Structures are given as C-alpha cells and as structure tokens.
Amino acid sequence: LALMRLAEALLRVPDPDTAIALTADQLGRADFDGASDGVMARLSASAIGLSKKFLPEAGQPTLMSRLGARSVVAATLRAVQLLGRQFVLGETIENAMKESVRARRQQPHLSFSYDMLGEGARTAKDAQGYLESYQNAIESIATSADKTRACELNDGISIKLSALHPRFEAAQHARVMAELVPRVWGLCELAAKANINLTVDAEEVDRLELSLDVFEALAAQVARHHPQWQGFGLAMQAYQTRSLELVHHVIGLARRYKLRLMCRLVKGAYWDAEIKRTQESGLPHYPVFTHKHHTDVAYLACAQALLAAPDAIYPQFAGHNAGTIAAILQMAKDVVSSLPAGAVEPASPGRRRSAPSGGSEPHEAGSVGPTSQFELQRLHGMGESIFREVLKNPAVSCRVYAPVGAHRDLLAYLVRRLLENGANSSFVHQLADESVGMDVLLTSPLYLESTPSLPLPADLFGPLASGARVNSAGLDLTVAAMWEPLQAALASTGVPQIPVFNVKSGHSPIKTCQESYQKWSKTAVTERAAILRRAADALQTQLPRFCALLVKEAFKTWGDAVSEVREAIDFLRYYADEAERIMQPIALPGPTGETNELRLTARGVWVCISPWNFPLAIFMGQVAAALSTGNAVAAKPAEQTPGVAWEAVKLLHAAGVPEGALQLFNGPGDTVGAALVAAPGVAGVVFTGSTQVARLINRALAAKDGPITPLIAETGGINAMLVDSTALPEQVADAVVQSAFRSAGQRCSALRLLCVHEGIADHVIAMIQGAAQELVLGDTADLATDVGPVIDREAFDHINQHLRRLNSTSKVVLSAVNNDDSAINKIANMIAPAAYEVRSLAD
C-alpha cells in the first residue's frame, strides 16, 4: 500500500525536497524485512529496504543522506514509470496503436479497446478536454479500421460518462440528459461512420440508473440513425447484487430497439468504495456481493444469460480467472449447440467477416468463434500467460483493454488494478503464489463456503445481540424509490408557528422543570435510556417529515437534511448507551465489612441553547445528554428555527419524557436566552454558537450568587486546510468545494482558509474555480440544488459587508457561479460562493 501511495503521488511532486520527504515517509511505513515468496520478490524487498537507509531521518539531514536520497528518488521515479508501462499501452493514442501492432505480431487475433486515462471531470474545461481526447482517439483508430469487416472485430474505444460531464450524478439528471447525451452522440456518430466499436464503461453503483438512462437515449438514436452499426456497447459489473437483472434489462433494451449491443461483463473494481459509501450512508444493504466467490457465481449466471441472447447481445467476457474462462468456453459450446440453425447473423448486410489483419484464416462455418458469438477480454499488462494458453485455440479471440495516457494520470486506474488483482483472494495473485495448490486454484465457486460476512450497515457498531448501538438508517437519493417519500413529506409538512416566551410574565422560566426534576432524576437509568431509544426509533420512522421541515425552515439541501436527522438519531442512541454505562455504581476498594460505591447523580435543570445551522442534531444532542443522566432541560432553540425544535420536543414527549422535564422556550437570545441563564437554580448551561455570546454567558454565570455553574460551550473558529505538493488536485477540489460552499458555508467546520503549496497552486485553484462554477444555486426543495440561501437577512447583510471589504482589499479568486443568476435575484438571501487570495491571516 505504501508503494501504491508513492507511485500515485511522486510523479506529481514539483520540488525535490518534497519528493525526498514523501519517499522517506512512504517507504518508512512499509515492512520489507518479512518473508517474501519468489526470488524477484525477495530481491525487490531487499533493494527497497536498502534504499530506506539512504533516506534522511527526522531532523537535519547530512550531505551524504541528501545525495543518497536524491538517487533513491530518481530510481523510484524510474520504477514508477516502468510500472506505468506495465499497465499503460502508450502515453498517446498514436504510441498505443504502434504498440498494438507489435502485440499483433505475436498474437494476430488480438483486438483492442482503448481507454483514455483520467477520472471524472470536475470542471467544464476538464470535460471538454476529455471529449477532444476521445474524438482524437476515434479519428486515429478509424485510420486502421476495416470498413468491410464486422464492427465487432475492429478495435474500439471505451469512454467514461463521468469524464464527459462535471456533474454526472443522479441529482443533476435533467441537466446531464440535456447536455451529455448530445455530447456522447457525437462520439457515437464518429465511431459508427468509422465502423469501430464504442463501449460505455461501468462506474460506481450510485451512477448506474443515470448511466442506463443515458445509454438508452443513445441506443434510441443508434436505432434511428445507424441501425446497421453493431458497435455500441455497455460494460456491466457482476459484483453488483442486481447484475443479473441488469443483464436482462439490457437484453430487453436491445430487442426493443432491434439492435445487437456489445456487452462487456466485468467483475467490478470499486468494491472498497462501494462498501464504505454504503456503511457511511446507513443504507439497508450492500449493493455489491461481500464474498468474492458470490461475485464469481453471479458472473457465470450473467454470462449464461448473455450467451443465450445472441440476437441481442455480442458478449465480451473480461477477466483473468482460468476457471471462469474455462466455464465460459464450455457454456459457449453448450449454448451454440442448442441454438437453431441461422439463429445468429450478427454481420451487417454487405459486410464480410474475416480475421483481423495479420491474423489466421477465417473460422470454419458452424464453429464457435469470436466472429459469431463472443470474445474474451483482458487488461493490458495482466493475465498474459493465461491468455497465451487460451489463444492456442483458433476459435477464441481476445480483446485487450488498453489504457492510454500520461503516467501522471495513472493513479485511480493503477490503484484499482492493484487492489483488484493484488488481493490475496485474486486468481492472478494466487496463481503467482507457489504455495497455493492447483486444487485450490480450480475449486468451483459453487462449492466454496462463506467466511463471516461484513456486518450490515445497521450493525456497524457491533451485533445487535450483544447490545451494540444500532446505526441510523439513511436514504440513497440516487434511487427514485427512496426520493419519493421525501417529496410526499415536502408536500404535506408545514412549519409550525411557535409563540415567543414572555420574559416579563413574572414567573420563573425553569420552575416547572425544577418540579419535574425530582421525579425524573429518580427514574431508573435503564428506563430513561429506553425512552431515548424509543424516540430514536420514532425519529427514524419520521425521517422524511423531519427532512422536509429542515428543508423548509432551515433551508437545508436534501442531502444535508438526511444527514442531520441521522445524526440526531445517533445522538439519542449514543447517550442512552453512555448513560447506562457511566451511571452504574462502581465498587471502590475498602476494608473488610465495608462497602464503598461511587455513583453519578443528576445535577438539576440544564439550560440548552442550540444554533440554527444544526437545529435538530445539535438541539437533540444537548437535550439527550442531559435527559439521559436524569437532568431536566430548559431548551432554547435559535429563533430562526423554532419549528424543528418544537417537533423534536413533541417527539420526545410522545416517547415518554415528562412534559415538565423538557420545556421549550422560543425567542431571541438576548432576552429569552439571557433570562434562562440568569434564572436561579440553573445547574448548568450547554451552548453552541459564537465565541462572543459564550463569553457573555460565562460572565453572567460568574456574576450569580451560589455555587459555580458549569458552562459547556462549543464555539466558532477558522477551519483551515493545508495542501502540499503531493496532494491529488481532484481530491483537493472535491474537498474544498464540499467543505467551503455546501450548506451555504454555514457550518463551524466550513472551510475558511486554504493554504496551497506554490508549486501546484495555479492548477489547484483553477480546478476549484471550475468546480465551484458548476454548483447549482437555488431553492433547496429541488434535489438538484447544491447551495441554498443563508439563514436570514441579518446573515445576508453581514456576509455582504464582509465581501465588500474583501473586494477592496484582496484579490478575487471566485466571485460568482457560472449558471443562471436568476436564483440570486428570485430567492431571498442568496449569496454565490466566493473566494479571495489574502495577504495574511489578519485579512
């Protein structure tokens, strides 16, 4: 892993000192002294271990160590470049095509699908660059394409939809369909006219529905304008639990439009990311199989379905597992023998089928071969020994998936390939391991037993049987079925109007809480915890309604609203568990015949003052912590969002919290908040907000007679990000835009200060500018909105005053988004993302 991190970053580092520090850091993390199998592995380990001795230690490096370190870095750079050559066919399409000619001298039946290296576009400029790269590649491939040969036999290109649009995500569905489909259709027309194939690559699970919508729109265009072109294709991932349903869907699509589509079946290369995303999102189940042999079984089931639809599908089976390849070849024979004569006629009218130029003779009539049924595929640089044996059969052809691009663009592709094929369970890894016997290599996945599986996201904190806390459940907003309940809730949910507490009534604001405290504090901690868990379950059930309330009253985007409700649920369950843990009596040592116990008890009435930027999560966290330990609560929400707090209090009362033990006081902080803090008998104050107000509260408490009243305050600050020259610009841009501008920047954790290494500053800042310009400003009730209005007019005026000052004193880096500015004019309190280059922290 250390070597992979080094490989992806070293080529991007502009200065030698950072390159030396990075190499020392990454090689220093790895253990190269352990046992290694194979002569080359042992030699490599020894060489790298020796290299570590030339790298500088912490502190002042000596001249000798610096000279040695530069040599190590130079050698490492060369090693990374060689590694790149292993997996990348060429740095340009022209070089890659020359390499393909050399490869065909050894294996004449090889064909290629070129993939232009690079990941998802962050900016419109990125997307345009990828589009031009694809266009150039298609035009270059066309120069050697045989227009008289079946399209399936010619070389082709693989494209990533996310590389062609900077917002290729479900929330931007309408925009993607309007902008991306014409863009990709232009590439399809070029490929169709050149008689080469074009395959849409598979990406992350949350982009599947959007990818299918784009693919179907393009298939309809193909059927209308190029019905004889049989080179349009889609890659499908067998590790998805819905892979077989996807295969049948694509078969139905091909038959509906009377096309024969090329379908590349892969096992999948985003497994780690899919597992992490599902766990973080609290989804009900994993979208991918959690056991590798289940993926192997699904792959074979999908292969069987593809082979059984020769009228609609030209199957392309990608993989390096000898067992899977053998099964595919056997299934192909069985399927072909069962098909009626003339069932398949894939060649376009007027086109003859022949072997690729430089290849062997055409297959005999009736034989199973790539010209009529299917092809195998492998990645460039992998599986060559296996396919060397497979291709001894002249009836089998192979296409090489061939990345093309600069070595500095290698990162994501290289990491996925090494993780996918370097894992201990990988066939390629096991084949190279002499300790793995042939019986293990060839064991059918149908007979493998499942090892303990990953816990479901709900059980992330431990099995429920052991009493572990249940993880809150989220919603996948990329799935229409999960979006529908939110729309329904939005239509039916209103914001309640909460009366302002009259501080001049002459009554003690916390008297009712004090009276209820005595009974509530004597309630068993297990019962109090059970009440909070019931409240958590109720909040989970009512998640769509509370999300709608957050959208309407606090102007939250839907994604932020879902996350906040989940956080509130977690707070309720967490504090229930913690209270049961810490409030159990603890036996203390003492003399014989004497029992000593330490018990924690409630303090009394706590005043909880919460902010408007997290009106549910922070409100619920403060209240739950106090209630769980037996305290009564006088809760004062922000005056901008009392409706959310009121509904939360009602939910807690319904779950079993006595009304007197939890009272809501709505109103301004300088009147209602001040009255609560000043009330006699307050046992403590919890506050989240500005440092200035926290100081006022602290002084007010200090001025009171009686025991010292504790204050727990979470106040603001400046969140800074330091970016050195080893950082990946795309990751920096994603993180900066997410942290600085989402939630309209209204979080204490929102990024305020970005410090970028001067060697990469221009490139990184340009990418951030472009990414920010793609943000959608508007009504947060719209799923497509990224940035909504600030909370109120006071905040709007304060921010604009700050912006005017920065406009006059600092260099403007980002002043507005590049979209319809009508949102700024039509929606109150809208402020576009802005960024400035400042001279010092004082600015």
Q: What is the CA radius of gyration of the chain?
A: 32
Q: What single letter denotes the amino acid at residue 128?
A: Q
How many residues appear in the chain?
A: 843
Give CA–CA dist 727/725, Å, rounded: 6
The dihedrals phi and psi of 126, each to the nearest 5 degrees, come to -60, -50
Region label for 759, one of left (φ > 0), alpha (ψ between -120 and 50) or beta (otherwise)? alpha
374 Cβ partners below 8 Å, 6+ apart?
306, 307, 314, 315, 316, 317, 328, 332
Cα–Cα–Cα angle for 589, 591, 593, nearest 5°? 110
Give CA–CA dist 735/754, Å, rounded: 11
Could you tell me which of 160, 144, 258 has the C-alpha nearest to residue 196? Answer: 144
Taking CA atoms, 14 is separated from 65, 326, 526, 724, in Å, by 20, 48, 59, 10
The answer to whether 470 and 458 are in contact (CB under 8 A) is yes
Give CA–CA dist 441/6, Å, rounded: 32
Could you tell me which of 717, 713, 790, 550 has the C-alpha nearest to residue 647? Answer: 550
* Residue numbers annotated as active site: 714, 748
Copy the structure tokens of residue 501.
């507490």
Q: What sign results for the dihedral spanned by CA atoms 137, 143, 147, 153? A: negative
The answer to whether 633 and 661 are in contact (CB under 8 A) is yes
Give CA–CA dist 519/509, Å, rounded: 19
23 Cβ partners below 8 Å, 6+ apart?
6, 10, 55, 69, 72, 73, 76
Q: What single letter denotes the amino acid at residue 57?
A: E
Q: What sign results for the dihedral spanned by CA atoms 358, 359, 360, 362? A: negative
Copy the structure tokens of residue 758.
């001067």
The helix (H) or strand (E) run that includes residue 28 is: helix 16-29
Cα–Cα–Cα angle for 237, 240, 241, nearest 5°? 145
194: Cα within 13 Å, side-chain hemisphere: 25
Estimate the share of the chain in helix, then strand, then coil, as percent rounded to the nearest 5.
Answer: 50, 10, 35
836: Cα within 13 Å, side-chain hemisphere: 16
The answer to whether 241 and 287 are in contact (CB under 8 A) is yes
Pairing type for strands 811-814 and 835-837 reads: antiparallel
Could you tell me which of 614, 305, 639, 338 has the C-alpha nearest to residue 498? Answer: 639
Other Cβ atoms closer than 10 A to 249 = 14
DSSP state of 275: H
165: Cα within 13 Å, side-chain hemisphere: 23
